[in-house]
Amino acid sequence: MKRLEAMNQWKFRYGVAVLLLASAMSPSDAHAQAATAEKAPEKQEVAEAKPAPPVDLGALFRMHWTNRTNAFRMQNEQLQFVVLLGDSITEGFEVAKYLPGRRVLNRGIGADVIGNDLPADDNRGVLKRLDESVFNCAATDVFLMIGINDLGSGRTPGVMEQGYRYILQRIKTETPRVRVHVQSVLPTRDNYAKHNANVVDFNGRLKKLAEEFGYDYLDIHALVADDKGELKAEYTGDGLHLNEAAYKVWLAEVERVMKW
């Protein structure tokens, strides 16, 4: 009898119909239970909807940065060799699709920057993740493209040049045999076109840095720019990020350099 009552209580708690529950009771109990169930509350108070809290984009970017660098540490155990290093434009380069079977690691992180002027508690920046991204994976080649988010954040080409120099110095010091391919920052269009003059300025500095350190300079900018110096419309959907047609242009340059 106790076991039957326990089963009835369990069914009631999980929304079993009143008639099913009443069939397991005595007639008097069933009538009492049904009567109780038929009584609708006179008034139900509806909780007032509260507006969703604002999205903290900075926190989301930092979380993404942390998750990606943790994944890099795990991938490093496989000792793959060619590294694509950069921001969201690099992260969008689908290695499995464009370079199937090649030993290539995509070390792009959306919204990332060079990182030389960030506070210590800001876990972003290529400078802060060179161990995970390059040094611990036995890289032979690094294709580096970084800087457009720095310009978008208001950093000057001069400040960016200093930070980029730090990146190249660390790679040259800690892994002198690694071949670095310094890639130009790409042009933009539409709402982002205001940065194009600084893009050209910074790319001139990058070319000189590459020569100073004895690295290649790959002018991807020239391959995707139109006659106004903007990113060609057929290569982008939002004026900043690349579509498949643009990635194929970039891919051809990587394959040319690697002789694949």
Q: What is the CATH number of the domain that holds 233?
A: 3.40.50.1110
Which letter does DSSP use for residue 234 in this model?
A: G
Domain span at 110? 79-258
- Tell me: the pLDDT tens digits for 24-45? 344 444 444 444 444 445 555 6
| Count of CA atoms in the C-beta half-sphere (13 A) of 110 | 12
**Does 110 share its domain with 214?**
yes
Note whether 115 and 15 are same-domain residues: no
pLDDT digits (tens, 9 = 90+) for 215-260: 999 999 999 999 999 999 999 999 999 999 999 999 999 999 999 9
- Which tops the pLDDT comparison, 142 or 26? 142
Tell me, yes or no, if the pTM score tops 0.85.
no
Q: Using the structure block, give the residue that is written with the tokens 């942390």.
A: 66
- Over residues 46-69, the mean pLDDT reads 84
> Which phi and psi (to 5°) does residue 48 adopt?
-70, 130
Residues 120 and 19 in one domain: no
Residue 65: what are its φ and ψ, rounded to 5°? -60, -45
For the chain, what is the domain count? 2
Same domain, 119 and 190: yes
In a domain, 156, yes or no: yes
Which token pair is 189? 């269009």
User: Can you give 64-116 as a three-state secondary structure string?
Assistant: HHHHHHHHHHHHHCCCCCEEEEECHHHHCCCHHHHCCCCCEEEEECCCCCCCC
Contacts of 185 (CB under 8 A, 6+ apart): 145, 146, 147, 148, 151, 199, 202, 203, 206, 221
Query: Does residue 42 fall inside a structural domain?
Result: no
- Using N-to-C axis directions, what is the helix angle for 196-213 and 157-174, rounded to 10°? 30
pLDDT 10s digits, 145-173? 999 999 999 999 999 999 999 999 999 99
Same domain, 14 and 130: no
Residues 206, 127 share a domain: yes
Q: What is the dihedral of CA 191, 195, 196, 198, to 10 degrees?
A: 180
